[in-house]
Amino acid sequence: MKPSTYFIDESGHSGDLASAKALDFANQPVFALACIGVVDEQGLADEMERLRILHRCGPGELKSDMARLPQFVTDLVAYLGACDCPVFIELVDKRFFIAIHIVNHLLCGGIGLDHVPMPVRNAVAEFLTDEPSDQILLDYIAACRVHSIDAIRTLLNALWTWLDASDEDVARIAQFLTMEARDRLNLGESKLEDFLPLADRTETDRMVWMLPNLTCLTNIYARINLSRPDGLDGITLVHDEQLQYGRILADTKALMEELARQGNAPSALFADYDLSGAAALRFVASTSDIHLQASDLLAGCAMRFARDAMAKRRKLSPKLRDAFFALLGLTEETQGRGINLVFTDTALEKMGVPVFRLPPWLDLDHDG
């Protein structure tokens, strides 16, 4: 039996990255959005209360910053797996998220995948993430706020100079893309909007440009669609209350549904944006919903593990590692279920997550 309700909550501060003052993101460099599909709501509520007593969590809201999080999540994952409750988690390195925007908008805005394929884009984004490119990333954040042709021109020139100092082959590819972007800008072949992400407006009419929770929610919606061959009609997405971004999330969901109806849905790995039907969406305060608190615990566990594993001076808890890999064990990519990791290969290796690489006879860049 398929779930009729999907509970969604986040961890790691979902705010607009274009408002970031520094790339430590106030000690929250990772964002997580977790979703649990539930058939038996009372059964999950009863299990949460059982685990509350078992782990001596006390009364009140169960939050992901509680000291007993790893043990609680390990037991919760065992229950979800036994009940075949699908779990969908988006786990995002915010630095990589900005680098992806630089590649897809600043360098490749208006250019299709036939011209710059996804493996090339990923390689350049990983290079920008893993190398000491802080000033480039911060300048792009500033360019979003300034929103001028001059700012884009200055940024492209700075990027060219920074890339020129590198001996890496991928830097030459990135320089070529930078040169093409400068030509499009100088010849007037592209609009300013082609170099920057589209802006959204919050409930208070504030402009925002890079919202991890927006991208994560759309991909979870598409992953749920992939997991449901019979379609989305009749199900409900219950999202933790969003006072600032609720309208943006709801409007983007509606846009996804309209694009699917028009036959213009984008393609993606392990997600199906060609939506079959439409789910209802409502926002609920997690303080009053134990199912949202379950999603918050999963999101918090994933976020904290990734943050601690990537940190240079933070000791990684073995129990937190065990809880994370129990969560990772729920992944079934062909069904869209489990954790989608938006990290560079270097970061995944720090986390101890296996990284798939092409064998030498299939890797076109391999010298041997």
Do 227 and 81 fall into the same domain? yes
Do 184 and 328 fall into the same domain? no
Residue 206 maps to a domain:
no
Looking at residue 266, what DSSP letter applies?
Answer: P
Residue 362 maps to a domain:
no
Distance separating alpha carbons of residues 15 and 31, to the nearest angstrom:
10
Do 343 and 313 fall into the same domain? yes
SS3 337: strand
**Least confident segment among 177-186, 195-204, 227-236, 344-353:** 195-204
Domain end marker among 146, 166, 194: 194
Res. 60 pLDDT band, cuts 50 70 90? confident
Res. 75 pLDDT band, cuts 50 70 90? very high
Looking at residue 288, what DSSP letter applies?
Answer: G
Do 168 and 136 fall into the same domain? yes
- pLDDT tens digit sequence for 118-170: 999 999 999 999 999 999 999 999 998 888 999 999 999 999 999 999 999 99
Do 62 and 126 fall into the same domain? no
Do 72 and 110 fall into the same domain? no
Do 309 and 338 fall into the same domain? yes
SS3 321: helix
- pLDDT tens digit sequence for 8-29: 999 987 667 877 888 889 889 9
Residue 356 maps to a domain:
no
- Find where tokens 């680098």 sit: 99
CB of 223 closer than 8 Å to CB of 271 = yes
Least Cα distance to 85 among 48, 34, 37 occurs for 37
- pLDDT tens digit sequence for 233-258: 999 999 999 878 888 999 999 999 99
Strands 200-201, 207-208: pairing is antiparallel
Distance separating alpha carbons of residues 193 and 202, to the nearest angstrom:
19
Do 166 and 278 fall into the same domain? no
Distance separating alpha carbons of residues 345 and 261, to the nearest angstrom:
36
Could you give the percent of the chain with pLDDT greater than 90? 72
Question: How many independent structural domains does the chain possess?
Answer: 2
* Confidence (pLDDT) at 122: 94
- pLDDT tens digit sequence for 77-123: 999 999 999 999 999 999 999 999 999 999 998 888 889 999 999 99
Alpha helices (runs of H) in the chain, residue ranges in sequence order: 41-54, 69-82, 94-101, 118-130, 134-146, 149-164, 169-186, 212-227, 246-262, 290-310, 318-328, 345-351
Do 154 and 293 fall into the same domain? no
- For residues 70-75, give the mean pLDDT: 95
Enter the pTM of the model.
0.93
Residue 368 maps to a domain:
no
Residue 11's domain spans which residues? 5-94+211-351
CB of 73 closer than 8 Å to CB of 80 = no
Do 111 and 47 fall into the same domain? no
Residue 358 maps to a domain:
no
* Confidence (pLDDT) at 190: 77
Residue 365 maps to a domain:
no
Do 146 and 33 fall into the same domain? no
Res. 368 pLDDT band, cuts 50 70 90? very low
Instruction: For the chain, give the longest Cα–Cα distance.
Output: 67
Instruction: Examine the pLDDT at 363 and tell me if it is beyond 50.
Output: no
CATH number at residue 50: 3.30.420
* Confidence (pLDDT) at 201: 76
Could you give the percent of the chain with pLDDT greater than 70? 96
Residue 202 maps to a domain:
no
Residue 172 maps to a domain:
yes
Share the mean pLDDT of the chain: 91
Name the residue type at position 306. Answer: A
- Find where tokens 């929770």 sit: 213
Do 177 and 216 fall into the same domain? no
